[in-house]
Amino acid sequence: MRLGFLTACMPERPLEAVAQWAGAHGYETLELAAWPTLGDRPFTASHLAADAFDARERERVGAALADNGLSLSALAYYDNNLHPDPQERAAIHAHVRACIDAAAALGGVPVGTFVGRDPGRSVLDNLREAERVLPPLVDYAAERGVRLMIENCVMEGWHPDGGPGNLAYSPELWEWMFELGLFLNFDPSHLLWLGIDPIAALRPYVERVIHAHAKDAETFPAQRDRYGFFGRVATRGEQPWEMGWWRYRIPGLGAVDFRRYVDTLYEGGFDGALSVEHEDPVWGGTPRKVEQGLEIAHRTLRPLVVG
């Protein structure tokens, strides 16, 4: 197992600077943010130009990693593959294919994305639509020696009322997507606030986990008593990600049992990357605080990960 992080937490830095910092602070691998170069959505970055990937970009990425003793664990482009706007959906699928092409050129690392959802349609209608549109992307990846993986993030901010915006949030839906040839980028933090035991949920599916996120979550039961499970409704306003009774944390600062989590991965035969996804509001807001958050994560996880 290798310890790394998703580079989206450092959107203001070029890849070379991110890699230099990671190598100097004991990280071994990077999950490269590969969103389109245009756009300013939160928790995204463009450390690899998938939409303009050529021999020069391949050389640049390879050198940045090699010069700092790092490997590449995956490419990250988490977007809504069931977007209700046909033009937007087509653009998303085109970028997924571009990421797959880049991943193939870089040794066949996995590409991470979301199932997504059309919030104006029922879950069952969305699943049927996904069964139509996702297999061509899976096939496109397989033909190039790449595996397409889905993170089990709820993406509640994509739904107008805080419902699931990514239909891959529970074991029931993992089984459905495995049948389509998709794999899992497992993240324990999302399960915690859903009321699902992350360790119990992980254990039967480790063989389909090809990449693992390290992110924690902290809950506030008194606030849940006010807002309910679905979080703020009338007071969400322009902050769709502020649910009011939970928040993401750096590993070790929330309620996920990372000793059991990592041990369960090992017990199931997992030998991929454990990638810190830093979205902790306490250790965010400035580049230096993001660095400190990653340092805390490294101190928490390093004793658990055997190289």
Domains and CATH numbers, the chain: 2-213+271-278 (3.20.20.150)
Distance, in Å, from the CA atom of 185 to the CA atom of 274, rounded to the nearest integer, reads 10
Written as tens digits, the pLDDT of the chain (307 aa) is 999 999 999 999 999 999 999 999 999 999 999 999 866 677 899 999 999 999 999 999 999 999 999 999 999 999 999 999 999 999 999 999 999 999 999 999 999 999 999 999 999 999 999 999 999 999 999 999 999 999 999 998 888 888 899 999 999 999 999 999 999 999 999 999 999 999 999 999 999 999 999 999 999 999 999 988 888 888 776 677 788 899 999 999 999 999 999 999 999 999 999 999 999 999 999 999 999 999 999 999 999 998 6
Tokens 């998938």 appear where?
50
The two structure tokens encoding residue 45: 């970055």
pLDDT of residue 37: 82
pLDDT of residue 40: 67
pTM tops 0.85: yes
Distance, in Å, from the CA atom of 48 to the CA atom of 28, rounded to the nearest integer, reads 18
Burial 7-34 (b: 16+ CB within 10 A, else e): bbbbbebebbebbbbbbeeebbbbbbbb
Q: What is the CA radius of gyration of the chain?
A: 18
Sign of CA dihedral 270, 70, 288, 112: negative
User: Backbone phi, then psi, for 248, in 5-degree steps?
Assistant: -75, 150
User: Backbone phi, then psi, for 56, in 5-degree steps?
Assistant: -70, -40
Burial 109-129 (b: 16+ CB within 10 A, else e): bbbbbbbbbbbeeeeeebbeb
Distance, in Å, from the CA atom of 80 to the CA atom of 94, rounded to the nearest integer, reads 12
Q: With contact defined as beta carbons under 8 Å apart, do 212 and 269 qualify?
A: no
Q: With contact defined as beta carbons under 8 Å apart, do 295 and 253 qualify?
A: no
Q: What share of the chain is helix, strand, coil (3-state, %, to 5)?
A: 45, 15, 40
DSSP string, 96-146: HHHHHHHHHHTTS--EEEE----TTS-HHHHHHHHHHHHHHHHHHHHTTT-
Distance, in Å, from the CA atom of 301 to the CA atom of 103, rounded to the nearest integer, reads 27
